[in-house]
Each structure stands twice: as structure tokens, then as C-alpha cells.
Structure 1
Amino acid sequence: MHALVATVVHHPEDARILHRQIRALLDAGHTVTYVAPFRECGVTPWDELRSIDVPRASGRERMASLRAARAVLAEHAPRADLLLFHDPELLLALPSRRPVTVWDVHEDTAAALLTKPWVPRPLRRPLGLVVRSFERRAERRMKLLLAEEGYRSRFRRQHPVVPNTTEVPERPAREPGDDRVVYLGHVSMARGARELVELGRTLRPHGVRLDVIGGADARVRPLLREAQQADDLHWYGFVPNDRALRMCAGATAGISMLHDTPNYRHSMPTKVVEYMAHGLPVVTTANPMAEALVTGRPEGHAGRVVPFGDVRAAADAVLELRGDEDLRRSMARTGHEIAQTSFHWPVQARLFVKQLEEWVAEASGPVPVVPRPRPRPQVVERDGEHTRPTREISS
């Protein structure tokens, strides 16, 4: 089948969109046209897919991007078998003529609005109610995929879940070392930007460097630049997921300092799974899903859980791991085992592709059975009478 995949909000090299879902479609033999903000993000698309550039939607500057996306989708959607889009904003840009349409629900958008700095505070809750109404309308008009089991309660119908798992190597590239910790993922205030800066400053006198790998919100970038100039951390900016994971290998621990916000309470932080998959002990705040994964599994503990906002506790956990090689290696092995057993993406990839194929097949309907034409009987004249010859039954 031919899949049209679209995003105007996410980076074109988003791990879930490109490295997992599009890769899975290509590996299954399907063709993909990818609509994304390539030029604005400085990305060169893969040769294996057709790419269409659109402006990126960010902050309050979204209308130009949506107008461009509407034109592109109106042109290309009728020629595709499937339209898979990743942003709630694109609900406003869908063409009337389109194939099987699937919204991949990445987050709890209404809850996320409560922490978006570009949304005026008095409008956050009212806009959340508008988003909920759009969600109810969407599930009546299209197919939905959910990134988390915890998103099911937002919808009235049952929808398949494609969790944010990751490619788990047979064995980690390196054992965890003792001189640096890493943060992987987008950086925002709600994801612990201030805590990361303070953590880097606290660890530096102990000879432990904090590497921050990921893009950042506009209001956070000056904070990270100042911390880098002060040598409190090393900020790499956005790095494609496959390369970013290689950079993480060998760190003492992977850090997650998420705040206690509604959007994160029922979400599994993908970075935690990725740390474990690549042999890093985890130091995370007490997000319920992360805590259950890191310290609540029968296989054992894969790291340490610290209170929300408690940088001192996070630093103490890192220093404990730095000073105890056996402990960090044991936690790294446990985390890798859990990830390999329960969060290996290829298993989900097959289910993801199969679900899309089934939806397209359902929309196409059953293959019509064309009846074989009955031979027209010939009239044979015999002795002045008309008779019909016996018809042969051919195979």
C-alpha cells in the first residue's frame, strides 16, 4: 500500500514517526510519502521515501503551516491508500477526499496545554475542553492509534495501542562508566530543565559531566546556553535518535526529571525505556509508570526513583552509582533484560503494520466475484423443428 504520513509539529526525524513507524512500513514493502518540516529543521530525507516539505507549526505561529499542509494533503491524499497523521492540529487541515485516515495520538493534548508557555494561562483549560470535543469527533470519523494504555479512558471506543518501545540490542555497546550522566529527549520546564541545570552544577565538582541530548523550548534555550558556558553541562541540541542512543552508551546513568503534571502521570517516558535498552541505570522522578518500570518489576531494580524536584536526591543517586561499579552494572543488566523482554520494538512493528493493512483492506471491501458468463445457447434446426443442443460444461 501507499502511505501518506504527515506531521507539522514534530521534528522530521522524530523517533516514533521516522525511526519506528515509517521504517516498519518500508521494511514491510510499502511505499511512503512523508510530509514534514524538513527544510526548517535542516533534515535531508531518506532516499527510500518521497518527501514533501511544509513549514513547521510552533508556538502561536501555526496558521501558515496548516494552510500549507491543507494544500499538500488535498493534492496527495486521494492518491494514497492510507493517511497517517501525528498532530491534533492537522485535524483542521484534513481534505474532504481522503483514504483511510489514522490519527496517531502521541500525548494527552488537553493536559499538555496546561504546561505550554505559549498558551495564555486563562485560555489553557477552555482550550482543553475544545480539544476533548475534537477528540470525540475524531474517533467517530477516523481510526485512532494510541501511544499509551493510559489514553484509553479519554475515548468512548476501543482503539489499538502502539506503545513507545524501542529497538533493543542483543547486548549494550558498553558497560556503564563513572564519569558522565545523560539526558535524552526534548527539554522543557515541565521536563525538568531547571533541575537538569542544577544537577549538572552539583555533579561537576565530583568529576561527573551531564550531557543533554535534545532540542529545547524557546524559553529554555538561554538557560541551557548559560549552563554550557559555565561548564555545568554539555548541550548537544537535537540529534537523530539512532545517533543519540549511541552517544548515551557507557554513561553512568540516564536521567529523567519529569514534573508531576497531568500529561505525564499516565505516560511511560520513552527515554527511560531507551536508557534501559542500552544498558544504563536510570535515575527518575516518581512518575508512576517510570517508577513501576524501574523499581516495581520482579526482575529487580533498574535504577533509583527520587522525589519530584529533588535535585539533591538525584545527585546522591548518581554518586551512589558512580562509586559502586557492581551496583551500576547489576542495574544495567536488569534494565536491559526488562527492555528486551517487554519493550522490543520489532514485536510492536509487526502489529502496527498489520493493523494498518487490515484497515486498508476493510475499506477496500471484499474482492468482487465476477460470475462467468453463461454461454448463449444456439438454436439448431432439425427436420423443420427448433431444438436447443445440450450445453457442455467446461472446466
Structure 2
Amino acid sequence: MTKRVESKQMRVCHVTTVHPPFDTRIFHKQCRSLASAGHDVHLVAQHSCDEIVDSVQIWGLPTAPNRLLRILIWPWLAIKRILTLEPRPEIVHFHDPELLIYLSWLRLLGFRVVYDVHENVAGSLRNKHYLPSLVGRMVANIFSLIERVGLVAGLPTVHVMDTIAEQYPVPRYLVRNLPNRSLVSEAERAITSSPWRLAYLGAITENRGAMTMLELLAGLVRDGHDVHLTLAGNIVPVELQARMASFISASNLGDRVTMTGRVEWKHGISIVRDAHLGLCLLDPTPNYMNSLPTKALEYMSQGVPVVISNFDCFIPFVSKPNAGIMVDITSADSIRREVGELLNNPELLTTLGKNGKLAIRNDLNWENDFDTLLAAYREILKDKPFH
């Protein structure tokens, strides 16, 4: 986490009605880094109480009972909380697309606002499992219209990917969701098998490779590899869990798969650190093909080589630093063959792991991009003196 202390203090309020209060990007990176640099930082989010954590003042919103009420009512609760803050924040940094419609109103009241685009939202809406295909397309089109109206007024935006940022007008800023440099493991890894350990950390869904990972495991076992797969995350939807259980049983993989459910961040990192390979086998959806490989970067920080879908947007993060292999996600045989070859080459595994750690330590880290966030805030406030 950034330790620099600045002489001129800003009052900044981050707002989310979707993400948990201790979200990695919002709280652990942006808010904590700002507070550590000496700024007055507030966070409005769903939380059980108002409290100060790591010098960040959290203002708790009640927990939304369902998605519809969260979309319709919770933005108003967040806005109401912002309006009660004294002194008022100089910058209000929003993190959810459903809040976008309210930003112009706050700007009319004199607030400087920033819209943080975490993903290709329209592409994501078209692929939500809880929305029928036609409804998903309609919602995506409506959102795109609302977004365009807001951006015409010169709304500053912050982005996790340059390919997403390029789709937005200026002012726009690239602030990637990269690992903290301090996350890099200094321990030397000993590459030994018996069994080879594969790991995945994050939400387990169909388009995040749930069945692809199980099929890979089954194929490696058929090829004679002694291998184990750990899946750390919640399975969504429930129907997918039944399909996975059926496949595991039919393929006789019961003693080769561990499904932990959602784990605390530190536990998840320990699972990754113990693995020989980290998996990031995403389907070619519009959202993922325009995304930052956050989980892959976490694997790299622990010296774990990455097996990732061969999307162009991932090349600068995995292929360029030679920190893993990029595979054709549409070919199960190709994935199985390439991973098998990698497991047969422990020396290459060691090299790929070291390359990944070096890339995070020297370049692909949050500390570098935090400077960009500070510069963005200064530019937004350039005609308004700091306090």
C-alpha cells in the first residue's frame, strides 16, 4: 500500500451500492492508498455500521434485500448520505453503473464527480445469467443511451483497461486494478509434483470456465498426470453446482477436486501460493475480451505460472512478460495438451513463475497506477484550491 504523505489534502468520497465495503479495488487499493497519502477519505457502501477502518470513514447503508430494490432505492440512500457529509467532499467517486443517472444531478449541486468503469458494462449486461437474452440486450441498449447522455456533459471517467477507456471521450484516465507491490511473495518456490496442483480463485460460473477446468482435469488424469484442482469461490447459479457434481462423479474425480466455497482474501492467496498453475480459462464474451486479467495478476504475484484464454487484451500482462501460456479456449484438446507439456517441464514452470513476480514488482503494480489516480483528481480540481 502507498505510504507517501502529501502536503495538500483532498476530501474524497467513494460510493458503491453494489460492491462489498472491503472490495479490493475500491477499499484496499483506492481508499486505503488515499488515506495513507494523507487525504480525508470516506466510503459509502452497504455495511452493518458507520466506522473508521484503516483511516477510511465508512458510512454504512442497510443491506438491500434483493437486486431490484438495490437498483431502484439504494442509489437514493447513497445520494442522501453524500448530501449529509460536512464538510462536503471535493470529489465523489462512483463505482456502479446504476448510479450513473444521478451524477448529472450532483454536478448541478456543485460536486466534482468521477465515474469508475470497472468493466465493459453493456457487454456484461448482455451475458447476465439472470436476464433472458432479449431482455439483456434491451437493458444493455438502455444503459448505453444513459451513459452517452452523461458523457456528453464531460463526465470524467476512470478505467481498468485501455481498450475500454478508448471507447470513452475525454476526460478519461487509466487506473488499472493491479496487485500491490507488497503482495509479491519473496519466498522461493520448489517445483515438485505428487500431485500437480491447479488452482482457480474467484466466482465460479459457466463463462468463467467452470466446466472447462473440470474437463481439463479429467483429460490430464486420462493422460497419466497425478493432478489436483482447487476451486476457491462461490458457484453461480445453483444449477451449475449440480452439473459440476455430476461431472466429477461420472469422471471419478472426487478425490482430485476441492471446492472451498468463497474464502477470505488471505486464505485465497495461500491456496494460490501452494499451486503449480493458476487457471483463468474465460469464455470469449465481449466483457472478458475487454478486461484486465485480475486473477492472473494475483497468481503472478505469488510466482505461479498462468494458464489463460488467448485474448488480445491479455497479451501485455501474460504473454509479453512470459509469465504463463495463452490457450485456445475453444479447444479442450489443445488446452489439455499444452498444460500437459508444461507439467512435464518443471524448469519452464520455475522460469515462468519468476518472470511473473518480476513483472508485478517492476511494472504491473498498483503503486504505479495510484499516481495516475492522484493526477486525475488534481486535474479535476485544478480550478479549486486544496484545503
Shorter-chain TM-score above 0.5: yes
Distance in 1 (alpha carbons) for counterparts of 2:219 and 2:364: 33
| Secondary structure at the counterpart of residue 273 of structure 1 | helix
- The Cα offsets for residues 149-174 of structure 1, whole Å up to 9 and x where unpaired, read as 00133223341111122123565434
| Contact map agreement 2:14 2:44 (CA 8 A) in 1 | yes
| Secondary structure at the counterpart of residue 239 of structure 1 | coil
Query: Of the candidates 29, 32, 44, which is equivalent to residue 23 of structure 1?
Result: 32
* Structure 1 residue 191 corresponds to structure 2 residue 208: yes
| Secondary structure at the counterpart of residue 101 of structure 1 | strand
> Alpha carbons of 1:174 and 1:208: their partners in 2 closer, same or farther (altered >3 Å)?
farther
Moved more, 328-337 or 227-236: 227-236
Query: Of the candidates 259, 269, 273, which is equivalent to residue 245 of structure 1?
Result: 269
State the match for 1:376 in structure 2: none
State the match for 2:236 in structure 1: 217
Residue 103 of structure 1: CA displacement?
A: 0.8
| Contact map agreement 2:113 2:155 (CA 8 A) in 1 | yes
Query: Of the candidates 114, 121, 135, which is equivalent to residue 133 of structure 2?
Result: 121
| Secondary structure at the counterpart of residue 333 of structure 1 | helix
> Alpha carbons of 1:93 and 1:285: their partners in 2 closer, same or farther (altered >3 Å)?
same
| Contact map agreement 2:154 2:171 (CA 8 A) in 1 | no
> Alpha carbons of 1:26 and 1:304: their partners in 2 closer, same or farther (altered >3 Å)?
same
Distance in 1 (alpha carbons) for counterparts of 2:64 and 2:199: 28
Moved more, 62-71 or 121-130: 62-71
State the match for 1:48 in structure 2: 55
State the match for 2:285 in structure 1: 261
Residue type at the aligned position of 1:152? A
Residue type at the aligned position of 1:119? L
Aligned residues: 361
State the match for 2:4 in structure 1: none
Moved more, 23-32 or 136-145: 136-145
Moved more, 1-10 or 137-146: 137-146
* Structure 1 residue 351 corresponds to structure 2 residue 372: yes
Normalising by structure 2, what TM-score? Answer: 0.82
Query: Of the candidates 63, 70, 83, which is equivalent to residue 74 of structure 1?
Result: 83
- The Cα offsets for residues 264-312 of structure 1, whole Å up to 9 and x where unpaired, read as 22322111222222211111121212245433x2x5x322222114344
State the match for 2:163 in structure 1: 150
Residue 83 of structure 1: CA displacement?
A: 0.8
State the match for 2:44 in structure 1: 35
Q: What residue ranges of structure 1 are gaps of 5+ in the alignment? A: 368-395
Distance in 2 (alpha carbons) for counterparts of 1:346 and 1:255: 25
Q: What is the identity percentage for the equivalent residue pairs of Structure 1 and Structure 2?
A: 25
Normalising by structure 1, what TM-score? Answer: 0.80
Distance in 1 (alpha carbons) for counterparts of 2:351 and 2:242: 35
State the match for 2:177 in structure 1: 164
Residue type at the aligned position of 2:23? D
Residue type at the aligned position of 1:210? L
Residue type at the aligned position of 2:187? A
Distance in 1 (alpha carbons) for counterparts of 2:267 and 2:177: 18
| Contact map agreement 2:32 2:55 (CA 8 A) in 1 | no
| Secondary structure at the counterpart of residue 33 of structure 1 | strand
| Contact map agreement 1:268 1:290 (CA 8 A) in 2 | yes
| Contact map agreement 1:35 1:53 (CA 8 A) in 2 | yes
Distance in 2 (alpha carbons) for counterparts of 1:257 and 1:247: 18
* Structure 1 residue 307 corresponds to structure 2 residue 328: yes
Moved more, 25-34 or 154-163: 154-163
Moved more, 151-160 or 195-204: 195-204
Distance in 2 (alpha carbons) for counterparts of 1:79 and 1:30: 14
Alignment root-mean-square deviation, CA: 3.1
Distance in 2 (alpha carbons) for counterparts of 1:81 and 1:2: 5
Moved more, 175-184 or 199-208: 199-208
| Contact map agreement 2:12 2:42 (CA 8 A) in 1 | yes
Distance in 1 (alpha carbons) for counterparts of 2:21 and 2:76: 19
Residue 107 of structure 1: CA displacement?
A: 0.7
Distance in 1 (alpha carbons) for counterparts of 2:386 and 2:200: 50
> Alpha carbons of 1:224 and 1:361: their partners in 2 closer, same or farther (altered >3 Å)?
farther
Distance in 1 (alpha carbons) for counterparts of 2:232 and 2:52: 21
- Higher Cα Rg, which structure: 1
Query: Of the candidates 227, 241, 251, which is equivalent to residue 208 of structure 1?
Result: 227
Q: What residue ranges of structure 2 are gaps of 5+ in the alignment? A: 1-9
* Structure 1 residue 226 corresponds to structure 2 residue 245: yes
Residue 254 of structure 1: CA displacement?
A: 0.8
| Contact map agreement 2:44 2:59 (CA 8 A) in 1 | yes
Residue 11 of structure 1: CA displacement?
A: 2.7
Residue type at the aligned position of 1:131? F
| Secondary structure at the counterpart of residue 237 of structure 1 | coil
Residue 108 of structure 1: CA displacement?
A: 0.9
| Secondary structure at the counterpart of residue 260 of structure 2 | strand
Distance in 1 (alpha carbons) for counterparts of 2:67 and 2:188: 39
Residue 101 of structure 1: CA displacement?
A: 0.8
| Secondary structure at the counterpart of residue 155 of structure 1 | coil
